[in-house]
A and B are shown apart, each in its own frame.
Chain A
């Protein structure tokens, strides 16, 4: 509650806006690589909040979320790259990517949403793998996805003549490509935050919450649980599709490697680690899980050198090791996530014997 009060106050909004505006320039001091990391952090905020609708609001355990991201990414990659020689505009591809991802969500969700939660988890997980395997292998006999090599030279986001790649001069400022994408992503993230908040406090959001609490009672008061679950699933998928499209354009390159199961798990971890169903928590989770591995990537090697004078352990695996341990420890000491909603926190402290 305090958080929301703060952000609704003029001072809060002003400070946040200034910080958001300044961030890409501060990050640029450490090199454009850090701006790119920032971009990814915001992209993951977007993705995690999309998944939050499915997991946090409707309580459906979706382990194949990345598949919808992949659908969006490949839609953009195939329709805006030299691979097929197509260069469709953003207003055509982005909705199409979202629509296809949504369609995939409905196709997968309609037979499986009546399953118990854990079964749904494994089915969605399986679906994610199926999508990835197809992307990996649909290069023969007809080359659709270009297989493991992936698709390169993908068009950047552009509105008319304004391209998001390369450096542009605006009001005397030199804006790099990653910095421009940063502002686009922040705008999208704000949009999805507003959607999350509005959904949560709506008739639909309440129905989702009711389903999460007690499905039988929800049915008994006339909630069509199947359709509402499907709705959550499809909405989450659409957000995944949009994020995928932007990812594709921003990277200029996609390959099946980017859509492995660990990515799905990562996004779920962001939602749960941050505080499921609680928007500020999810944002925190997304930023933390994007930035932490990067900090470790740059930090682990030098720290080892400083302490031991040589590389004892492969930095990459040490980085992931620390990440895994962090997941375990946070869940151990903050089972409702780092920043849970007030209700969930209460729920837990009371559950303790």
Chain B
């Protein structure tokens, strides 16, 4: 029983991170139907920027909390700028291009960002500075750390903020309108370019926050870390029903929990034939199974074909 609870907690933490990254995918997809493959790389850049900024400041003698905060701020700003630039330079010129063209561009950008990161930060694993005290809690036989608690709380707060933005502000309304029908929205005076740019910038900011969380949680970072993370997060977005904000959040958390439980129990389930290094397949197996029965994802609207 405590393994079960433990894995739920681990999954919730991992899932909160997936959810934040998934939001970046789902917002862009919802508004312009593009899989922004480079989003995982934005997250990676966020982590690495934090390492550089916070690490340098700590070395310079700044208090850890302050240095951490500065690192996070820097990461958010850099990622927002990066997201904006990605959209402006790479994707905007391709609005009318064939469907696969922006996808290849996204893949190209992903390769570019990875290699820029490798040139800047090197090909070795980097240690993430410990920004939070290592405090352990115990509850009902399961252990969790302050870091885990904070990740879940920050993630929840960020998502709450995003929902407020999307459902309570003028920009949010413009975003929702554009997602429904860009042509009509622009006739109604919505500046489509601004809305799309906003989706990229906001998504990248969330990605930066997620990047800091990943760094804090695993304490290491690497120029290739964004790819698998991005892939999983995109899976989470599809699982929840892509384009749907709440779906991305729930999909992310669900995916985190499924992975954690899967990794915890796969050995027992297969009589030791498959071990926990199969963790990565759960995401995809679950995705395939869900889409077989719910082709629009768990919380996606049914998009019926119209004659």
Write the residues of chain A forming the contact surface with B, with a CB cutoff of 8 angstroms. 55, 61, 108, 111-112, 114-119, 121-123, 125-127, 129-130, 133-134, 136-137, 140-142, 215-216, 261, 265, 268-269, 272-273, 276, 313-314, 317-318, 320-321, 323-328, 331-332, 335-336, 344, 347-348, 351-353
B98 and A314 form a contact (CB under 8 A): no
Q: Is B102 an interface residue (CB 8 A)?
A: yes
Q: Which residue of A lies closest to B116 (CB)?
A: A321
Q: 9 A-B Cβ contacts within 8 A?
A: A111-B292, A115-B291, A126-B283, A137-B274, A265-B107, A268-B104, A273-B104, A317-B115, A321-B116
Q: Is B110 an interface residue (CB 8 A)?
A: yes
Separation of A272 and B107 alpha carbons in the complex (Å): 12
Chain B neighbourhood of A137, CB < 8 A? 274-275, 277-278
Q: Which residue of B lies closest to A321 (CB)?
A: B115
B284 interface neighbour in A121, A127, A265, A320, Cβ under 8 Å = A127
Whole-angstrom distance between the Cβ of A150 and the nearest chain B Cβ: 17
Chain B neighbourhood of A317, CB < 8 A? 115, 118-119, 123
Given A118-B35, A141-B273, A314-B118, are A126 and B235 also a contact pair (CB < 8 Å)? yes
A129 and B96 form a contact (CB under 8 A): no
Whole-angstrom distance between the Cβ of A334 and the nearest chain B Cβ: 9
Whole-angstrom distance between the Cβ of B25 and the nearest chain A Cβ: 10
The 8 closest A-B pairs by CB, nearest first: A126-B284, A327-B108, A324-B111, A335-B97, A324-B112, A321-B115, A328-B108, A111-B292
Report the contact-size class of chain B (Cβ under 8 Å from the partner). 35 or more
A119 and B114 form a contact (CB under 8 A): no
Given A141-B272, A335-B97, are A115 and B295 also a contact pair (CB < 8 Å)? yes
Given A123-B291, A335-B97, A351-B96, are A129 and B111 also a contact pair (CB < 8 Å)? no
Chain A neighbourhood of B142, CB < 8 A? none
A314 and B110 form a contact (CB under 8 A): no
B123 and A314 form a contact (CB under 8 A): yes
A331 interface neighbour in B97, B110, B273, Cβ under 8 Å = B97
B224-250 interface with A by 8 A CB criterion: 227, 231, 234-235, 238, 242
Chain B neighbourhood of A313, CB < 8 A? 119
Binary flags per residue of B92-109, CB closer than 8 Å to A gives 1, else 0: 011011111111110111
Whole-angstrom distance between the Cβ of B284 and the nearest chain A Cβ: 3
B270-299 interface with A by 8 A CB criterion: 272-275, 277-278, 280-281, 283-285, 287-288, 291-292, 295-296
Q: Is B307 an interface residue (CB 8 A)?
A: yes
Write the residues of chain B forming the contact surface with A, with a CB cutoff of 8 angstroms. 29, 33, 35, 90, 93-94, 96-105, 107-112, 114-116, 118-119, 123, 227, 231, 234-235, 238, 242, 272-275, 277-278, 280-281, 283-285, 287-288, 291-292, 295-296, 303, 305, 307
Chain B neighbourhood of A121, CB < 8 A? 35, 103
Whole-angstrom distance between the Cβ of B30 and the nearest chain A Cβ: 12
Separation of A269 and B114 alpha carbons in the complex (Å): 17
Q: Which residue of A lies closest to B223 (CB)?
A: A317
Separation of A325 and B99 alpha carbons in the complex (Å): 19
A328 interface neighbour in B109, B277, B287, Cβ under 8 Å = B109
Whole-angstrom distance between the Cβ of B184 and the nearest chain A Cβ: 17
A318 and B105 form a contact (CB under 8 A): no
Q: Which residue of A lies closest to B105 (CB)?
A: A331
Given A141-B272, A332-B90, are A129 and B123 also a contact pair (CB < 8 Å)? no
B119 interface neighbour in A108, A318, A324, Cβ under 8 Å = A318
A328 and B112 form a contact (CB under 8 A): yes
Whole-angstrom distance between the Cβ of B70 and the nearest chain A Cβ: 28
Separation of A148 and B227 alpha carbons in the complex (Å): 20
B278 and A133 form a contact (CB under 8 A): yes
Separation of A117 and B287 alpha carbons in the complex (Å): 15
A112 interface neighbour in B275, B281, B288, Cβ under 8 Å = B288
B110 and A324 form a contact (CB under 8 A): yes
A117 and B99 form a contact (CB under 8 A): yes
B101 and A272 form a contact (CB under 8 A): yes
Whole-angstrom distance between the Cβ of A262 and the nearest chain B Cβ: 8
Chain A neighbourhood of B307, CB < 8 A? 216
Chain A neighbourhood of B115, CB < 8 A? 317-318, 320-321, 324
